[in-house]
Structures are given as structure tokens and as C-alpha cells.
Structure 1
Amino acid sequence: MNAKTPDYLLESADKSNAKWKDKKRYLWLLSPAVPVIGIAALSAYAVAPKKLRALAWVGPALVHGVIPALDRLIGEDTSNPPESAIKDLENDKYYGRIVKAFIPAQYAVTFLGAWLASRKNVPALDYVGLTLSVGAMNGIAINTGHELGHKHDKVDRLFAMAALAPTGYTHFAVEHNFGHHKRVATPEDPASSRLGESFWKFLPRTVIGGFKSAVTIEKERLARKGKGFWTLENELLQGWAMSAAFFGATAAVCGPRSIPFLIGQGAYGASLLEVINYVEHYGLKREKLPNGKYVRTSPEHSWNSNNIVTNLFLYQLQRHSDHHAHPSRSFQALRHFENAPQLPGGYASMLLPAYVPALWYKLMDERVINHYKGDLSKINMDPDRRAELEVKYAAVAQKAADADKTEKESSVTEQAA
């Protein structure tokens, strides 16, 4: 059953699907399999580093090569679980265990990578490959932290912090939940990219803005409880302590040569999160009401994709519209919406284009303008380039507006007939 199914059929379908089963139930194991693949590859490299040097680069190969290729090969899945199955899906503890299973393997592959990078006579190219490979694993782990961080259970939030600690990005659990979800698709949100803004311009804005936002949010939360910033209840301090403990313990065991590795893998892992942030809301903007508030977040405010392989690896993060509508909804229950804007490829396929501004603008800018039917005033646009972009895209906007007008006129004619 998919999102195109008429409402009058959904009710009968729900009744007939009382015993509906998730056909992807065991395919979801692909996500916790990522660090296991990393452990296997780096273990083989450890045994024969001269013969198997390419395995030091397993992370970038997986993220930028294998997953995008499988996306193109296998295609999309727009199916949704029936409403009658949602409650059972949410209550099935199997899915939560899958998410948590990522974390011990994540720590193992990080420690293994640090040990390999700290060995004497490791070629510089291999050192870089090991750094990026482990960084890729921990970048994907941020999505594990994202899934767990939206739960209300304290144990789940603790696991979320544990998943984020190896990248040193634990403040994400605070800013994302209470900052980004509140301000998403607005000019005020540091994690929502603007049309005409390159990833390289967005990166420092989101990193610095996200960090400042997290500090402000936590200060305000603690102030409401009558506490100052320097308290054991401060979730930012708790997260930073976890990162410091992990980095310190790993460096103590593996030696000083592991320190650049730890810093580099954390930076690369965090950058993977931020490039996904860049993709998710590019150019999209919620309308501002006369009272100064923004309209409620809806499916049209997130870029989505139904490429099945990336969705399996990233807990359906690509069904981003439903996530923003229901932040605590578990990944296995997220739905596809027909009216949500769709990317030209899966998230994994969009990473490399995002690094190349000219290619990214070619892929996405006209898509954004068409989404808003040529009305440039509705777009979240880079304010430093607005005048330039309005001139550049005037013809594109007019074409989109004319196409929308023709479509409406055709619809009226069909209704009249």
C-alpha cells in the first residue's frame, strides 16, 4: 500500500492487513552492519597492509561509491505501512535493538583504526584512508544518535550521546531536537541551507551557529530549573565529558600518533552530518504569517528520497518530511508523502555534488524554483546573493510561473467539461 492509495481503500486495507509484516525487517540490519564491515576490512588490512592497502579506504568507498551505485541499481520504494500496523511497529523492541547494536561495533572499529594509524611506518596515504574510513563509520553513527536522541527514554538518550561521542558532536543532541526542529526551513536556522549558498559557505555557518544555539538552549533550560550552566545536569557538559574520556582513553592506549587520527576522523564524520543537513532543506522556506510566526512544518519543507538502499543504511532518514512532522516516530514507521519535494537521487548520491557548487546549483536551483512555481520571494535564498540570483533566475522563474498557470487553466477546463 503506498501514499497514492485512495482514502476509501485505506480503511479496508487496514482491516485486511491485520497481520501485515515488514518485508524489510531483516534488511534494516544493513545499518549496524556498516561498522562490522569496517572491522572486517581493517582487520584484513592489519594482517596484510602491503597487499590490501585499498581496504584502508573502505569508508569513503562505501559512502561515496557502493551505496550510491546500489541506489541506482535497485531503485526506489514508495510503500508505506498501513495505519493498523504503526502501533505494533513502534512497540516492536527488535527495531530499537538494531539501532543500539551499531554502537559497540562503532567503538570497536574506531579503536582498531586508531591502533592501526598509530603503528610505526604507516604510509601517509594509508593514514589518511584509515582516518576517513573510521570518520565515515562515525558519521553514519551520528544518524544512530539522531534516531535515539528523539526518544523520551533516558537510556535511549544516553545511548545517543555515546553514538555521538567519537565525533565530539554531542551538542547535536541538544541543538537538533530543540533548535533545528523548531526553526527548520527558516532563515534563522543555521542547519537549513539557502539557495545560492555553497556547502563551503554553509559549513562554518552551521557548525558555529549550531554550537551557539546548543549553548543557548541548554542555558535557558537550566535557568528554568533555577540552575547555572556549570552543573552536572548540563547535557552539553555530560556529552563533552564522554567525548573527552573516549579520546583520552584511546590516545593513552594507542599513543600520540593516534591524536591527529582521532581529530581528523571526528571532523570528517561531523562534516558528513553537515552535508546531509545541507541537502535536506536546501532553499526551502516556511511562509511567515502576519503575526510574525511561521506556518507549521509540512511535507513541502524537506527534500525527500525513496532510494531504498540509502534508506536501509540511514534508518529512512530520507523520509525527512514525516520525521519533522513526527520527531519521535521510529524509523520503521516513517511514511512517504506524494507532495513532498523529491531529490534527483538518494542522500548518498547527493554528497559529492554538494561539494561542487556549480554542479549542485545545476542539479538543485531550478528544482527549488519549480517547487515554488516561480515565486522567488518564497525561497530561502542567500541574502548576500539575492539581487544577483533574482536576475540570474528571472527567466527560469517566469517559465515555472507560466507552466503553473497553464496547469491551473487546464484543470479548470477539465472540471468544467
Structure 2
Amino acid sequence: MTSSREKPGWYWLSSTLPASAIVAFQYDQPWVYLGCMIAAILVFDAILGEHVAIENQKDDMASTSIAVPVGFICLWLLAVLDSTARIKRVAVMEFVGLTVVSGVLGAFAMAHIHEVMHRDSRWGRRASDIAMTLAGYPHYRLVHELHHAHVGDPQFGSTAPIGLSLWRHVGRSFGNSLTAVLADDRRRLSQGRKRRLSFPVSMWLETVVVFAYLCGPRGLLFYVGQCAISIFVVETIGYIQHYGLVDGGDPVAWNAHSWLSNRLFVNNGLHAHHHLEQTLSYERLKCGTAILPAGYMHMFFLALIPPLWFSIMNHHQKCWRSAIALTSMESKNKRAS
């Protein structure tokens, strides 16, 4: 029997994030929205407990599930347009608030764009490139493909060795992934194939020009600022997902086992299974055995304070590996007997 927590309709909760931002913008309260949103996720992630897998799904559910990420993306675009329309006339603090909120929402949108990107369609990949440009990470699809092909290798971004702080990781990860994409583009060119980086670069430059033309210096500051915030949040999530897993073995990623976070971010927390079957739609993903101590929002703030992060995650990883080694030894003993 299916419980109410397993119903796929709960994934529509994600739409409340950009929808409530639009409402907050109408009342000129971006900072209130940001504080309430963070507090709500922190509290209800803890109260609502662990992820519940949806079993016995209909065969056609994967085709209809695309509506959830597309719905989020559409509402996010409306929120960005609304904030853009306001930036020329608002006070400095509200301008900063709109920039920060747009950057955070852009990072949240990346989880949904990521879902569209992995669907096997040309329009989905092109649409995701355009959406990622607005979110501030135009070449993310190219970066992500290399990440999947070389998971566990810090030279391709996202992965951080034990002891590397978030503050050292973000710039290094972004730089390494960009270098890897440039190298891949040069290799393609030497093989007589087309460059893939040209489109996202041109799209980003055109977007910069449009914001500067429509809104002047504030438009330029707004777009570049929200890009920087979005990239920081996205790279932080990558840090959380792959911290210490530099060998590319099992697991390839940590999983977030929080029910609410996985509903809000289309099961982005079930990251290990995604790496194993990257074309599998989000509602079919299952939670692996390597589980983070808390949800993404809790882990995000923990990562901002390296001593606390190291004290918890280094110990957590050590305990997890010890448990896996013990389980493996017990299995070998059973087979031997």
C-alpha cells in the first residue's frame, strides 16, 4: 500500500520556492523571503524525516514527470524577470537582496535544469544551455559531462580531497572544470570537429550586453552578481556531494536522505544512483548506502565553517568506510564457511 508520503504529487512542492519569491518581490521583501525560505527548509527537513522511495510506478510516469522541473524553471524565469524589472528603482539594500535571491534561485533552478539536460532530446540540451546561461553557468552541461566521465578526479571539478576547505575548493573546482572543458574543446578541434564552448560563451556575453543595455550599470552588476552567487552555491553542492571520494570507487557520491530536500530539488540528493544511471528520471532514483549526516541546507551551512565541517564529515567518512570494510569482511567469512 502506498503511503501519502510516497505520492509523486509532492514533487510539486518545489514550485513554492520561486512562486513565493515572486510574492515577496511584490512586497519589496527579498531579504524576508530569503530568511524564511532558509529557516523553513532547515526546520522542516529535520521534522519531516527521511526520504521515501516511490514504488510501483506506472510505466509512463517518467514522461509526465518532466512537468515538475519545467514548471519550476518557468516560475524561476518569471521571478528573474520580476526582479530585473525592479532593480533600476529600488534602494541599495533591496537591490542587493534581489541579486542574492536571484542567485540562490538560479542555483536551485540548476537542479531542475540538470534534470531536463539529462533527458535524451536535442531540444532539452539546447534549452538547458540557455537556462544555465541565465543562471550564470553557461558551460555547465559540458563541465557536467566531463564530471560524469571522470567522477572522483578533482582535475574535472566537484570532487575535493579530505582536508580541503570549501573556500579553497570553489575557485579551484570552477577553474579546473573550465580548464578541462577548454582542453576537450582543443582536442575536438584537432580532430576536425566543432567547438562546443563557442555557444555558451557567446550566449553569456550576449546576456551581459542585454542586461547592461536594458538596466545600465545596475543591470550589469545584477547579472554578474547573481551569476557569482549561483556558481558558488552549485560548486558548494558539488563539494558536499563528493567530499573525500577521490578514488572514483564505491560510492561515487554522498546521498542526502531528507524527504523535503529531495522533493524540493527533484531527488538531487540521490546522487550516487544518478551517477550509476544518469539517464534515469529523478523519481526512479534510489538512495545509496553512503548518506550525509543531514540535508543539503544543513550541510551547506556546515561547509561554510571548515573546522566544524572537518570534525563532522571526516569522522563520518571514517565510520562509514569502517562499516563497509566490516560488512565486506563478514561477507567473505560467510562465503568461506
In structure 2, the residue matched to 1:205 is 172
Deviation at 1:256, TM superposition (A): 2.2
Q: Is the 8 A contact 1:172 1:214 kept in 2?
A: no
Kindly provide the amino acid, as one letter, of the partner of residue 208 in structure 2: F
Tell me if 1:250 matches 2:198.
no
Deviation at 1:58, TM superposition (A): 4.8
Following the alignment from structure 1 to structure 2, what is the Cα–Cα distance between the partners of residues 219 and 410? 47
Kindly provide the amino acid, as one letter, of the partner of residue 143 in structure 2: E
Q: Is the 8 A contact 1:353 1:360 kept in 2?
A: yes
Following the alignment from structure 2 to structure 1, what is the Cα–Cα distance between the partners of residues 153 and 198? 28
In structure 2, the residue matched to 1:303 is 254
In structure 2, the residue matched to 1:318 is 269
User: What is the CA deviation profile of residues 154-199 of structure 1, one whole-angstrom value per residue up to 9, with x for unaligned ones?
Assistant: 111122112211133121101112x111111234442101110000
Q: Does the residue aligned with 1:317 lie in a helix, a strand or coil?
A: coil
Match of residue 50, structure 2, among 61, 76, 86: 76
In structure 2, the residue matched to 1:352 is 301
C-alpha change, 1:313 and 1:145, in structure 2 (3 Å) is same
In structure 2, the residue matched to 1:388 is none
Question: Aligned runs of 1:85-124 on 2, under 5 Å?
Answer: 85=57, 87-90=59-62, 92=63, 94-119=64-89, 122-124=90-92
Deviation at 1:73, TM superposition (A): 1.3
Question: Aligned runs of 1:13-412 on 2, under 5 Å?
Answer: 23-45=6-28, 55-58=29-32, 60-61=34-35, 64-82=38-56, 85=57, 87-90=59-62, 92=63, 94-119=64-89, 122-177=90-145, 179-224=146-191, 226-227=192-193, 229=195, 234=196, 236-286=197-247, 298=250, 300-337=251-288, 340-373=289-322, 404=326
User: What is the CA deviation profile of residues 95-143 of structure 1, one whole-angstrom value per residue up to 9, with x for unaligned ones?
Assistant: 1122122233222211222232221xx3332222111111111111111
Q: Does the residue aligned with 1:316 lie in a helix, a strand or coil?
A: coil
- Structure 1: tracts of 5 or more residues without a match: 2-16, 46-54, 287-293, 375-399
What do you get for the CA RMSD once the two structures are aligned?
A: 2.9
Deviation at 1:251, TM superposition (A): 3.0
- Structure 2: tracts of 5 or more residues without a match: none
Q: Is the 8 A contact 1:305 1:318 kept in 2?
A: yes
Q: Does the residue aligned with 2:8 lie in a helix, a strand or coil?
A: coil
Following the alignment from structure 1 to structure 2, what is the Cα–Cα distance between the partners of residues 86 and 197? 44
Kindly provide the amino acid, as one letter, of the partner of residue 156 in structure 1: G
Q: Is the 8 A contact 1:106 1:137 kept in 2?
A: yes
Q: Is the 8 A contact 1:284 1:368 kept in 2?
A: no
The percentage of counterpart residues that share the same residue type is 25
C-alpha change, 1:246 and 1:106, in structure 2 (3 Å) is farther
Deviation at 1:75, TM superposition (A): 0.9
Q: Is the 8 A contact 2:188 2:194 kept in 1?
A: no
Deviation at 1:328, TM superposition (A): 0.8
Q: Is the 8 A contact 2:104 2:233 kept in 1?
A: yes
Deviation at 1:335, TM superposition (A): 1.0
C-alpha change, 1:408 and 1:328, in structure 2 (3 Å) is closer
Deviation at 1:280, TM superposition (A): 0.2
Kindly provide the amino acid, as one letter, of the partner of residue 259 in structure 1: L
Q: Is the 8 A contact 2:106 2:136 kept in 1?
A: no
C-alpha change, 1:43 and 1:245, in structure 2 (3 Å) is farther
Following the alignment from structure 1 to structure 2, what is the Cα–Cα distance between the partners of residues 249 and 331? 34
Q: Is the 8 A contact 2:99 2:225 kept in 1?
A: yes
Following the alignment from structure 1 to structure 2, what is the Cα–Cα distance between the partners of residues 410 and 105? 50
TM-score, scaled to structure 1: 0.73
User: What is the CA deviation profile of residues 317-348 of structure 1, one whole-angstrom value per residue up to 9, with x for unaligned ones?
Assistant: 101111001001111111123xx211111112
C-alpha change, 1:62 and 1:169, in structure 2 (3 Å) is farther
Kindly provide the amino acid, as one letter, of the partner of residue 206 in structure 2: A
Q: Is the 8 A contact 1:174 1:218 kept in 2?
A: no
Name the count of aligned residue pairs.
336
Following the alignment from structure 1 to structure 2, what is the Cα–Cα distance between the partners of residues 240 and 40? 33
Kindly provide the amino acid, as one letter, of the partner of residue 250 in structure 1: F
C-alpha change, 1:203 and 1:279, in structure 2 (3 Å) is same
C-alpha change, 1:217 and 1:89, in structure 2 (3 Å) is farther
C-alpha change, 1:206 and 1:60, in structure 2 (3 Å) is farther
Deviation at 1:408, TM superposition (A): 5.6
Kindly provide the amino acid, as one letter, of the partner of residue 61 in structure 2: L
Following the alignment from structure 2 to structure 1, what is the Cα–Cα distance between the partners of residues 15 and 198? 28
In structure 2, the residue matched to 1:291 is none
Q: Is the 8 A contact 1:86 1:333 kept in 2?
A: no
C-alpha change, 1:222 and 1:312, in structure 2 (3 Å) is farther
Following the alignment from structure 2 to structure 1, what is the Cα–Cα distance between the partners of residues 148 and 33? 29
Deviation at 1:411, TM superposition (A): 10
Q: Does the residue aligned with 1:302 lie in a helix, a strand or coil?
A: coil
Following the alignment from structure 1 to structure 2, what is the Cα–Cα distance between the partners of residues 242 and 111? 17
